[in-house]
Amino acid sequence: MLSYNELYDKVNNYIDNMSYNAQPEGLYAPIKYVLSLGGKRIRPILMLMAYNLYHEEVDDILPNAIALETYHNFTLLHDDLMDRADMRRGNMTVHKKWDDNTAILSGDAMLIMAYKLFTESSNDFESKPYQTHLLKALQTFNAATLGVCDGQQYDVEFESRNDVREEEYMEMIRLKTSLLLACALKIGAELADASEEDAENLYQFGEKMGLAFQLQDDLLDVYGDPAVFGKQIGGDILCNKKTFMLINAFNMANAEQKSQLKEWISKTDFVPAEKIKAVTAIYDAVGIKEVCNHKIESLFTQALQYLSSVNIDESKKGELKAFANRLLKRNK
Amino acid sequence: MLSYNELYDKVNNYIDNMSYNAQPEGLYAPIKYVLSLGGKRIRPILMLMAYNLYHEEVDDILPNAIALETYHNFTLLHDDLMDRADMRRGNMTVHKKWDDNTAILSGDAMLIMAYKLFTESSNDFESKPYQTHLLKALQTFNAATLGVCDGQQYDVEFESRNDVREEEYMEMIRLKTSLLLACALKIGAELADASEEDAENLYQFGEKMGLAFQLQDDLLDVYGDPAVFGKQIGGDILCNKKTFMLINAFNMANAEQKSQLKEWISKTDFVPAEKIKAVTAIYDAVGIKEVCNHKIESLFTQALQYLSSVNIDESKKGELKAFANRLLKRNK
């Protein structure tokens, strides 16, 4: 089985050597910029790992894997524009480095490039089995790409609501984050002509892992080591993001803590560090870190159960297990 | 052969009965709104007419046809946002009726819906011929969707340039307008399993017709009847759009007219009606209307030559000819 590092190099190598339309440069330079900023390349690697369960050679589906990474980076580009975020991965965002219209149009072109990559893999279109797999995988891709938009819309709508329930938050992160991980694995299986049962189990493995991954991200946003995390600590608290933690802290708080939380949420004029300190203190008091860690562990266990149901020799699943562990035991 | 009116009704009927994800409503309401604003439905009708040359029944490819219309309306939605245009087809644009972020995200979802429609036509995926045609048509669709982005980028870049040449303008409108008409016809032929030669001739017919169509649009922007045209007359003149007419007027003008044109282009403080009147007077003096009409006629003749090369009984081409005539002899 190919290791994480081998797949990571394959993905980055493909991206480094990708050809773009030469002109108009103003359209393609931002796309190249965004794709070169790096990142963990989680989605393409998951797709390749799933395919690798069935086929030794994964290069045939590299274009499909990069399609997913291109799509993911397109969502970051447009999300950063909508959030007016200035920085991403330590670099200026596209609307900041260029302008809003460039971010809109280059993002659109990037989404189209994702579809182009997905359908123009090096495989032979005349081969009937491949065509069937590709069309099936394309529908899985469509479900993911549209679902992520649904998730982003909920995320935006939750900003102006104070009554978001835990189930609603979990559904939002399922759509916005989990779906693409789950579909990456399912597409890998579909392109490899795996059984529907295997594809579905890999999907569920990805979905549960994705939920745990996002909760871990939320946890690091509060309890991460600022020197390691790479993002500002407390960002979610400052913008009153209705995370699993805030929702549950509110539910578990006593009357006094509840009124303090409410006060901080409604305050428009505050010293950021003070708000982060105060809300974190309430989180500590109600023990939200433990509740969140418990939920992450439970989702992780479910994820591994789905992986163990995949009808493939256990010895072949080592890389996927190690990857899941790496994602969930991370500190950045 | 199905008439324009019959196809127009089929297209609108399909759009009226389209199902959307029920939730989140905030994402899908703007999409429904945009698609319901009407328009000439040129692109889906061209695709259906091309398919109809080879197959009596066109309903099978309605999803593909609507995919093109959905894509086209997505480009209008994002273009209007980038241009800060308030009105479209007599109604408020999405960013005006909702907000910028809604326009960005609903537009993104619309582009994805176009791909979804394109790949989820009612045809049977298990049928090998259909799969081959669909994948071929999908690549034609990709070429169109990315090319339109290229065209839009050039259009934006030309705004801040005063040295745009006629060839550059023609290439820009080929990408931004013609490509989608040409691809509509080619996709119709490809889905009908027409010969590559026929598909290519239909593509060229569409490309030349599209160029003529855009020049006609530019002409109407200056010489249209305000009561009929539906848009403000002189809009291109006011924003110094480097159209075929402005570029050629400049090339044909004498020293005096050239300096007048330059002055109006560089003026930032002016009475709109005066600028329109003055530039139109120069257009009249150099005879740009005739030059433009001549170019339109020439492109129209070329278009019809390509259509006549399509290896199909002439009697079947009546609807396409009539449609081309309708597009180019229009006054709105």
pLDDT tens-digit readout, A11-61: 999 999 998 877 899 999 999 999 999 899 999 999 999 999 999 999 999
Q: Which of B161, B192, B223 is the last residue of a domain?
A: B192
Helix (H) or strand (E) holding B87, with range, is: strand B87-88
User: What angle is formed at CA A40 by the lines to CA A191 and CA A143, rounded to 5 degrees?
Assistant: 40
CB–CB contact A119 B105 (8 Å): no
Alpha carbon distance B121, B87 (integer Å): 33
Report the phi/psi class of residue A313: left, alpha or beta, with left for phi > 0 and alpha for psi in -120 to 50. Answer: beta
Residue B122: per-residue pLDDT: 55
pLDDT average, residue stretch B288-293: 97
Which are the contacts of B264, defined by CB distance < 8 A and separation ≥ 6?
B270, B275, B278, B279
Query: Are B146 and B128 within one domain?
Result: yes
Q: Mind listing the pLDDT tens digit for each residue in B36-76?
A: 998 999 999 999 999 999 999 999 999 999 999 999 999 99
Query: Are B174 and B211 within one domain?
Result: no
Residues with pLDDT less than 50, chain A: none
Q: Which amino acid is at B176?
A: K
Residue A16: per-residue pLDDT: 95
CATH number, domain with residue B120: 1.10.600.10
CB–CB contact B128 A125 (8 Å): no
Query: Are B149 and B178 within one domain?
Result: yes
pTM for the structure as a whole: 0.96
Q: State the best of A101, A126, A156, A190 to mutate against chain B, taking most chain B CBs within 10 Å.
A: A101
Instruction: Please check whether residue A67 is in contact with residue A219, taking contact to mean a CB–CB distance below 8 angstroms.
Output: no
Which of A81, A116, A146 lies nearest to residue B146, judging by beta carbons? A116
The mean pLDDT of chain B is 94
Which chain A residue shows the shortest CA-CA distance from B172?
Answer: A24
Query: Are B183 and B65 within one domain?
Result: yes
Query: Are B251 and B157 within one domain?
Result: no
CA distances from A22 to A18, A66, A67, A104 (A): 12, 19, 19, 19
Q: Which of B146, B176, B192 is the last residue of a domain?
A: B192
DSSP A79-147: HHHHHT--EETTEE-HHHHS-HHHHHHHHHHHHHHHHHHHH--SS-TT-HHHHHHHHHHHHHHHHHHHH
Question: In degrees rounded to 5, what are phi and psi of residue B87?
Answer: -125, 150
| Nearest CA distance, B139 vs chain A (angstrom) | 7
CB–CB contact B153 A113 (8 Å): no
- Please say if the pLDDT value at position B227 is more than 90: no
Residues forming beta bridges with residue A87, ordered by sequence position: A92
Which chain A residue shows the shortest CA-CA distance from B20?
Answer: A146
Q: Mind listing the pLDDT tens digit for each residue in B142-191?
A: 999 999 999 999 999 999 999 999 999 999 999 999 999 999 999 999 99
Q: State the best of B72, B79, B101, B128 to mutate against chain A, taking most chain A CBs within 10 Å.
A: B101
Question: In degrees rounded to 5, what are phi and psi of residue A92?
Answer: -65, 140
Query: Are B47 and B10 within one domain?
Result: yes
Reported ipTM: 0.95
| Nearest CA distance, B190 vs chain A (angstrom) | 15
Q: Which of B160, B192, B224 is the last residue of a domain?
A: B192
CA distances from B274 to B245, B268, B271, B284 (A): 18, 13, 5, 15
Neighbours of A221 (CB within 10 A): 19
Query: Are B106 and B227 within one domain?
Result: no
Which of A81, A108, A136 lies nearest to residue B111, judging by beta carbons? A108
Which of B109, B111, B139 lies nearest to residue A120, judging by beta carbons? B139
Query: Are B152 and B221 within one domain?
Result: no
Query: Are B148 and B179 within one domain?
Result: yes
Residue A114: per-residue pLDDT: 97
Q: Mind listing the pLDDT tens digit for each residue in B74-117?
A: 999 999 999 999 999 889 999 999 999 999 999 999 999 999 99
Query: Are B188 and B289 within one domain?
Result: no
Query: Are B146 and B255 within one domain?
Result: no
**What is the residue range of A145's domain?**
4-328
Q: How many domains does chain B have?
A: 2
Q: State the best of B99, B119, B133, B161 to mutate against chain A, taking most chain A CBs within 10 Å.
A: B119
For chain B, how long is the longest CA-to-CA vector?
69
Token pair 């046809």 is at which residue?
A: B65
In B, which residues are within 8 Å of A101 by CB distance? 82, 156
- Pick from A97, A103, A46, A116: nearest CA to A73: A103
Query: Are B175 and B223 within one domain?
Result: no
